[in-house]
Amino acid sequence: MDHTTFHGGASLQFTRDDVARITVSVLTKVLDELHVLQSVEGIAVHPAGDAVFLVDVVMRDLTTRITWGVSITIPPAKEETDERD
């Protein structure tokens, strides 16, 4: 993933694995807080253009064992889109 700067600090570079781990961690915490009986079964991170990523997540309902998918698009950082204009 491209460099991203937070609050004027140093630039960070995320790999696909980093994005996958962060997404699973956040989704798991949100589902736990909401007391939703779902688990993250799988995740894939795909490049979807210039500094854009598509994250596909497979979820499983723990009560019915039914699986379903969620797709998340991560757009480029605002600084990157501003530079293109």
10-49: pLDDT as tens digits: 556 677 888 888 888 988 899 889 888 988 899 998 888 8
Higher-confidence residue of 4 and 67: namely: 67
6: its two tokens: 């937070």
Tokens 């795909």 label which residue?
A: 46
Please report, for residues 28, 35, 81, the alpha-carbon distance to residue 47 in angstroms, rounded to integers and kept in the order given.
23, 32, 16
Q: Say whether pTM exceeds 0.85.
A: no
CA–CA gap between residue 28 and residue 36 (Å, rounded): 10
Whether residue 57 is predicted with pLDDT greater than 70 in this model: the reply is yes
Taking the domain 15-77, which CATH number applies? 3.10.450.40
Domain edges within the chain = 15-77
Q: Determine the pLDDT at residue 2.
A: 46
